[in-house]
Each structure stands twice: as structure tokens, then as C-alpha cells.
A = this chain, B = another copy of it.
Amino acid sequence: MNETLSLLMNHRSIRKYTDRMVTEEQLEMIIAAGQMASSSSSVQAYSVIAVTDPEQKRALSALAGNQAYIVECPVFLVWCADLYRLQKVSEAHLGDQPSYVDSTENLIVATVDAALAAQNAAVAAESMGLGIVYIGGVRNQIAEFAEQLKLPELVYPVFGMCVGYPDQDPGIRPRLPLEGVLHHGTYDATKTVEEVKTYDNTYAEYMRARSGGKSTAAWSQFMAKRLSEPVRLHMKEYLQDKGFMKR
């Protein structure tokens, strides 16, 4: 296994950081690596906001589920889907032509672009000995969160990412069996249930160990709980208010 594969296979999310700083040079390397990810027709429809000020991190953390690691990490990155830049630079050329910037297609393009760049950045950071964790909580109170960052229309925060030197060494969280996610030729809907049965036990064991016996739920129980909770139901209206997916 080469060095890169070994790095990828050893990923774990880091939720506790030392107070060692991440330098501006390191940050730039991480973002530059993010930029090298593929982008649909070179649109590069994403932006990233780096937050290092402790007061600002505290304010953002309060809006994103109050996770201590957002405050404690030296750099908090907010990855945004960004169609604002495209719309702005196009205006001079568009003249009277309509812009389809508000299509659902373009929401998908921008969201995917942000995610591909972010994952490259995550790998880059880990290759430098740093740790990261993604923060979906930025969508909890997305309007207030976006306002703090002065995001214009056609920009939305997809997720955050804490970056810093790890101060913990958590175990690797088990994934679904490979056959659970990989299909050959066509989608095989029958295997979902079989593959998941084994995984339910693996996951329950992992959670039991991690929680010191407090949690013993199987993966599918967690999933059912998640689907039954009315999580972030404001997203549709918020995105449309911001100019996304109007058609």
C-alpha cells in the first residue's frame, strides 16, 4: 500500500486539538490542494472562509451546535457553494440573455464542487500531520450563520471543517461492508438488508467500546432515529431565498 492509500485508510475525525497554530503557509497549501480537485466545466463554484479569531469562532460555534472543537481548533474553515462569483463575472458578457444560475442543476454543481475541493483539502491537511472534522452543524441556524460571515446571495455554507494538530487518537469508525456500497453493472436493491445485518453488529460493538458501554444501538437504529427527526427542514426555503434551485 502506498503512502497516500495508507493515509486515506487511516482517516479518523479529530475533535480535540493541541494549541499549536496552523501557519498561513500551511493554510494556503491546504486550500491550493483543494483547488486542484476537479470542477464541473472549471466553474469552481465554491469559496472557503477561514476563521481564526477566537471571538468569531465562539459566535459561530454557538450557531452550529455549540461544539467545543470549533472554538478550540486553530483554523475553522467554512466551505461554501458559491454561484455569486459566476453570476457576477458573467453579467458583463450576458447582456440581455437570461441566466439559469438559479437552476437545481447549478445547486448540485456548486455543492459538489465545494465537497470535492474540501475533501482534497482534508487529505492535504492530514498528509501534513493535521487532523480535521467536518461540521454539518453550520446548517442548524444557517441564516444567522451565513449573516455572521456576510455571505451574499447565491452563496451558502455547505459544511464547516475544523483543522489543527490532533490531541487525541480515536479509533477508526467502521464503514459499511464494501459490498454494501459497491454494485456491479446495475443497482442491487436486495443486498441492502443482508449487508447491513453484519454491519449493525460491528457498529454496535464499536459504539459500545467508544461510549464505555453507554451506547449499544445498531447502525440501522441510529439511522432510523436520524430520519425520524425533523432536522434542518428550513433548508429548502433558505436556499430558494438565497437564489438557489428556483427551477
Contact = CB atoms under 8 A, between A and B. Distances in A.
15 contacts: A5-B124, A8-B120, A31-B181, A35-B178, A44-B175, A44-B181, A48-B181, A84-B192, A85-B180, A92-B220, A100-B230, A105-B233, A108-B158, A108-B235, A152-B187
Nearest to A90: B224
B4 A127 contact: yes
A29 B11 CA distance: 15
Give this chain's copy count. Answer: 2
B3 A103 contact: no
Contacts of A50: 182-185
Given A11-B37, A40-B136, A84-B189, 4 more contacts: A5-B128, A86-B227, A93-B223, A150-B189
A16 interface: no
Contact of A181 (B35, B97, B128, B158): B35
A98 interface: yes
Contact of A89 (B120, B186, B196): B196
A139 B106 CA distance: 12
A170 to B, nearest CB: 13
Interface residues of A, number: 121
A140 to B, nearest CB: 10
Nearest to A148: B186
B101 A227 contact: yes
Interface in A155-192: 155, 158-159, 172-173, 175-176, 178, 180-187, 189, 192
Contacts of A173: 42
Contacts of A119: 37, 115-116, 119-120
A228 B35 contact: no
A150 B186 contact: yes
A109 interface: yes
Contacts of A84: 189, 192
A196 B60 CA distance: 29
A127 B5 contact: yes
Nearest to A150: B186
Contacts of A23: none
A99 interface: yes
Contacts of A71: none
